[in-house]
Amino acid sequence: MNSKPIRIRPFLNKLWGYLAVCFWLVFTIVLVGWIICASFSTTREIFSGKLLNSGFHIENYTRALFKNNVALYLTNSVFYTLSSCFLILLISIPAAYVISRYLFLGRRLLQYLFVASLGIPTVMITMPLYSLIVRMGLLNYRAVLIFLYTAISVPFTTYFLISFFVSIPLSIEEAATIDGCTDDKTLWYIMLPIASPGVLTVTIFNFISIWNEYFISLMFINDSKLRQVGVGLYSMVQSMTYTGDWSGLFASVILVFLPTFVLYLFLSKYIIGGITAGGVKG
């Protein structure tokens, strides 16, 4: 008789939990789903509330991709993001390895400096950099954007990777040294493969944050041919609300939404694991 309330309570708790997360799920699906439907409809259908009434209008996408240059912005972003992600690793892996393995003066200080970079607002560092780049005549260069993206991500990436190298047992390198392996070979051929889960996680984070970056590219790129997706989409939305091309607007939004979303579908396990393991960047 008395056992009833004890059984009901966990059940009710669970029910509320399910209701809350399902509500969130439904909202997210409606949000994204409606915009996908709108991106295939005509502007008139969007305003009259009869989405997809005249079938799928693929031309919204061809118009956005080629007439409004989304294809160009996407290509630019792929180029900027992949190059930066590669360069970040090239610089951060050796630094993280040395900091985690060798005792030298200022080792702790370096780690503090690298984390502290997370607290410096981007806008604080942009004016002197802008001034330098203007005086060197390097405004509107792809390489400058890639350099800045790389530089801004190096401190945190290094900090993140240190913890991965620390967790690898020393005996592995000792064995390698005894077998006559040089420091470079030990790092790239022995340590790197073992640390690869950490390298993968931090690269996914770098990819997403560089892909979605807005402020730096707004400041350092004025040439519309060199724009990446964030700045490109922003200016496109402005012109499309002006011309009243709402279906084109939603198609462009979906085109910018899709790449990171698809990446996320495949890699969410690493991303979620990376943050819950103590990475502090998202």
Partner 1 sequence: MHKNRLFIIRCLFPALAIYIFVFAYPTLRTIIMSFFNMKTISTSIKHWKFAGINNYLHVFQAPIFRQSLLNIMRIWFLSGAITIFLSLFFAVILTGNIRGKQFFKSVIYMPNVISVIALGNMWLHYVFNYKYGLLKTFFSSLNMTGLASIQWTSPDFIFYAMNIAYSFGMIGYFMLIYVSGIERIPAEILESATIDGAGRFRSFISITFPLLKDVNKTVFTLWTVRVVGFFALSKVFSPIDSSPQTITPMVYAYEAMFGADFVSVEGRIGIAASACVVMTVIIVVMFLLSNALTKGDHYEF
DSSP 8-state secondary structure symbol assigned to residue 277: T
115 binds partner 1 (CB under 8 A): no
DSSP string, 73-108: HHHHHHHHHHHHHHHHHHHHHHHHHHHHH---TTHH
Question: Which of 194, 215, 241 is closest to 100 using CA atoms?
Answer: 194
49/55 with CB nearer partner 1: 49
Amino acid in position 183: D
Question: Restricting to residues 253-272, which ones interact with partner 1 according to CB under 8 A?
Answer: 253, 256-257, 260-261, 263-264, 268-269, 271-272
φ/ψ region of 221 (left if φ > 0, alpha if ψ in -120 to 50, else beta) reads beta
Which of 54, 62, 122, 167 binds partner 1 (CB under 8 A)? It is 122
Choices 55-63, 145-153, 167-175, 191-199 (CB under 8 A): range interacting with partner 1: 145-153
The yes or no reply on residue 21 touching partner 1 (CB under 8 A) is yes
Q: Binding to partner 1 (CB under 8 A): which residues in 55-94? A: 91-92, 94
161-190 binders of partner 1 (CB under 8 A) = 183-184, 187
Encoded amino acid at 86, one letter: F
Asked if 99 is part of the footprint of partner 1 (rule: CB under 8 A), the reply reads: yes
Q: What residues have CB less than 8 Å from 51, skipping those under 6 apart?
A: 34, 37, 38, 41, 45
Cβ at position 196, least distance to partner 1 in Å: 18
Cβ-based nearer residue to partner 1, 98 or 194: 98
Give buried/exposed letters for 164-191 (b at 16+ CB in 10 A, else e).
bbeebeeeebeebeeeeeeeeebbeebb
- Residues 124, 242 contacting (CB under 8 angstroms): no
CA distances 38 to 19, 64, 102, 220, 242, Å, are 28, 14, 57, 33, 18
By the rule CB under 8 A, 124 interacts with partner 1: yes
Binding residues for partner 1 restricted to 188-217, rule: CB under 8 A: 208, 211-212, 214-215
Asked whether the beta carbons of 40 and 56 are under 8 A apart, the reply is: yes
Q: Which of 9, 44, 67, 225 binds partner 1 (CB under 8 A)?
A: 9
Q: Name the segment binding partner 1 (CB under 8 A); options: 60-68, 78-86, 188-196, 229-237.
A: 229-237
Among 40, 114, 156, 165, binds partner 1 (CB under 8 A): 114
- Number of residues counted as binding partner 1 (CB under 8 A): 93
Query: Which member of 18, 56, 66, 112 binds partner 1 (CB under 8 A)?
Result: 18
